[in-house]
Structure 1
């Protein structure tokens, strides 16, 4: 049986006072006597009264809800980002509504429409890898709803963004592998229309060039999931000279590559060094524990939420802002130890 929620009018009727007096008593207005305030609060507590948030938002034109659209919550990075968003949101009295696009452009559009129809105060977005058109994001801005991109940012929309230093994260990872003796390093990347994929690819390429190593397109694969890495990694070992290192765009792909390499009978890291990107739990539980690039997802989420709230509350008055979060290389046992730099 559905329970009927008590209203201010119900409290007023039972106490024989006006609804406006009840409202002011609940807000601790100085014009209301202590006796009336106590009677109102006692009755509100007895009937478990809670304010009607929809009515409040209609009056204030503010819902105190932030919408978040992410590709998949299963990724450690995105779950860390959400934790950072929620901490910042709670600090400023906002609630968080999370939607998953599941890497679908069509579902991402529905996610954004849901956020708008739910009267959210602003939206945080990390876009789907299959998003090639951006009309739904332009619609958000046209409706004067604050919008902040994080991690997977949209190059075609002028909005605030929080980005990870993907280029130097990749560069440092590949340089570490080269200094450990790797000379033929494969790359498992993602769709090149994603800025993060291009930045990590460019970091990989520039590290090879710095040390005079060739860039072999045949060992650069679009392969960004554990399943695809399990399937495609063996093909890297059918191209003549075997790779002695694999740098993957994320930890899930790296873990798939690690499993595939071991199934082929090779040793990690003696035969093949492997490095991922994210530093999630999977990097710590695989055998051997995996070298990876820490993206600081919690910091990304907190910074994104802070910037969005500043926009909502009018503290950010300049044009679109871009903030970069530095990465950290976390060295574990899946890559060979750095050799004397004189021998690199």
Structure 2
């Protein structure tokens, strides 16, 4: 295998100084455009690549972004993480990932490790236990750091950082408007995430819709335990006339789909189902569930764009709060 060419060798081959080559490769205004073009073309021809370790030492940078994810088995988070990695690479950054398994202690330890200068920026989705216990003190340590921090999906007033999220309130209102237009007047709200900020926001939207539409009967079923919620769903669906079920997360949506099938109700004709799904899995099954598309690929890309921008220009106290609009994908379980 040929040894990679160095700046010193490029300078020797072109008959210029080491400094001229270095400044040309870094687009210095001290070097003429003609010389920079000649140096860059020759460097590309010879397959020159910068030494990332040397650059890191010189710039006090790691070219690494830390990512903290609550649950890798969750299809939404897995998709966001995939797109974070792909987009980070396009900027020349690598990612180091920690999984908290929705535990506060794991989150505290992960944040402690990553806040010691090992990464240039942090992208975080807080754990479920963090919200349940309302403990955010471990984030205080990174507020005074120079390292930019971004929170995605689960935003909260106690997390005063850059953020990328979806319009959860608007998503639920749009979904309910759609069900209403299709004739639903008895709607069941199902959730396994009552403690999370997104769960609370979605419930708030449902309650607002019911207040604005008093002719609609709303039933709310919430429990973080899947088995408990499944039994609750079966009981209500067997004993009450429900026109539509709106699942507030992947688990509750799949539990509702199973419960509807178990009691033998026909989708569309007798009942509609709208919720959140694993899109890849949804393509392989029947009936395909109508769902709210949260565009995780956009979340991952936008999170990286903001973090890299903050890394390059220096961390700023002016925060970016990006909110992505969602889209209702109509499939087999609704009219």
Cα 1:91–1:249 change in 2 (3 A) is same
CA-to-aligned-CA distance 1:123-160 (integer Å, 9 cap, x gap): 00111111021122221222322100111123202111
Match of 1:234 in 2: 234
User: SS at the partner of 1:285?
Assistant: coil
Contact preservation (8 Å) 2:66, 2:97? yes
Match of 1:148 in 2: 150
**Unpaired segments ≥5 residues, structure 1:** 1-7, 12-21, 35-40, 338-344
CA-to-aligned-CA distance 1:166-188 (integer Å, 9 cap, x gap): 11111111221222222221111
Cα 1:125–1:26 change in 2 (3 A) is farther
Q: TM-score, normalised by structure 1?
A: 0.77
- 1:125-204 aligned within 5 A: 125-131=124-130, 132-204=134-206
User: SS at the partner of 2:129?
Assistant: coil
Contact preservation (8 Å) 1:171, 1:204? yes
Cα 1:27–1:146 change in 2 (3 A) is farther
Match of 2:108 in 1: 109
Cα 1:318–1:117 change in 2 (3 A) is closer
Distance 1:140 1:100 in 2: 18
How much does 1:64 deviate? Answer: 0.6
Number of residue pairs aligned between Structure 1 and Structure 2: 304
CA-to-aligned-CA distance 1:7-49 (integer Å, 9 cap, x gap): x9xx9xxxxxxxxxx7744899942599xxxxxx9xxx9xxx9
CA-to-aligned-CA distance 1:248-293 (integer Å, 9 cap, x gap): 1123321221112211222223222111125622333332111101
Cα 1:60–1:275 change in 2 (3 A) is same
Cα 1:224–1:79 change in 2 (3 A) is farther
Cα 1:26–1:244 change in 2 (3 A) is farther
Contact preservation (8 Å) 2:164, 2:302? yes
What is the aligned-residue RMSD (CA, Å)?
3.3
Distance 1:235 1:142 in 2: 51
Distance 1:268 1:200 in 2: 23
How much does 1:229 deviate? Answer: 4.7
Match of 1:266 in 2: 265
- 1:75-94 aligned within 5 A: 75-94=74-93
User: SS at the partner of 1:242?
Assistant: coil
Deviates more, 1:60-69 or 1:72-81: 72-81
Distance 1:27 1:67 in 2: 37
Distance 2:250 2:277 in 1: 6
Of 21, 31, 35, the residue aligned with 2:17 is 31
Contact preservation (8 Å) 1:255, 1:286? no
- 1:188-337 aligned within 5 A: 188-214=190-216, 216=218, 219-223=220-224, 229-237=229-237, 240-277=239-276, 280-314=279-313, 317=316, 319-335=318-334, 337=335
How much does 1:214 deviate? Answer: 4.8
Distance 2:119 2:314 in 1: 18
Q: TM-score, normalised by structure 2?
A: 0.79
Cα 1:277–1:153 change in 2 (3 A) is same
User: SS at the partner of 2:283?
Assistant: helix
**Unpaired segments ≥5 residues, structure 2:** 22-42
User: SS at the partner of 1:181?
Assistant: coil
How much does 1:105 deviate? Answer: 0.9
Cα 1:196–1:79 change in 2 (3 A) is same
User: SS at the partner of 1:186?
Assistant: strand
How much does 1:120 deviate? Answer: 0.5
Distance 2:254 2:142 in 1: 37
Contact preservation (8 Å) 1:279, 1:295? no
